[in-house]
Each structure stands twice: as C-alpha cells, then as structure tokens.
Amino acid sequence: MTAPKNALRQRRHSTAEDLPRQLAAWFEGQSRTEDQSKVPWSALVFPDYVLLPERWEIWKAAHPDAKPPAGYEWLNDPNSEGYRQPDWLLEQARRCANRGRR
C-alpha cells in the first residue's frame, strides 16, 4: 500500500538542510552586507516572504549563534510585524511552497 497523496502535500521544511539553498546561504551570511539588494529574490516574493519567520526559526534552531541578515533584525523578535500573518495566508503559503517542491 502506498502513502496517501496528501501525505506528500503536507511535508514542510523541518530542518535547516531542507531550506531553499539561497535562503540558507543568506541566513548563513554568505551574502550579508548592508546592501539589501543582496536579499535573495525568493525572500521578497510569495510564498517565501510569508514563510520567512518560520524558516528563520528553523535555521536559528540549528544554528543558535546565528544573527539575522542585515535589515532583517526583526526576525529575532517574534512580536514584530513580520511575524503577524493571518492563518489563512500562512496556510496558502505553505501549500504553495509544498506544491513547488513536487
């Protein structure tokens, strides 16, 4: 018996190794400068900009000494505006991101 189709759709980035390469490199500091033009394009568009706080939390859990990219210091503040996304928008972003990884 095979796994139900929706089991694949519900898979999410759960470890730092599962994060998109550009975001992982950005979080790691490979492109860190004060120049925000170095922000990966995916961090600026849907669905990644909605999922950015979740993905930072995953990265931070694996790299406790990590500092957020320049201009994105709000990622270390769960009370910041960037963390306040409606549940429906988060769900849509997760579905979209999962669909793209098939």
User: Which is nearest to 57 in space by CA: 33, 75, 74, 38?
Assistant: 75
CA 100, CA 23: separation in Å to the nearest integer? Answer: 16
The alpha carbon of 15 is separated from its chain's Cα centroid by a whole number of angstroms, namely 11
Per-residue pLDDT of the chain (102 residues; tens, 9 = 90+): 555 555 544 444 467 777 888 888 898 886 555 555 578 888 888 988 999 999 999 999 999 999 999 889 999 998 998 888 999 999 999 998 887 665
- Put simply, whether the predicted model's pTM sits higher than 0.95 gets the answer no
**Residue 95 CB neighbours (<10 A):** 13
Q: How far is CA 25 from CA 6, 66, 93, in A?
A: 30, 12, 21
Q: Could you tell me which residues come within 8 angstroms of residue 34 by beta carbon, excluding any fewer than 6 positions away?
A: 70, 71
Dihedral class, residue 71 (left if φ above 0, else alpha if ψ from -120 to 50, else beta):
left
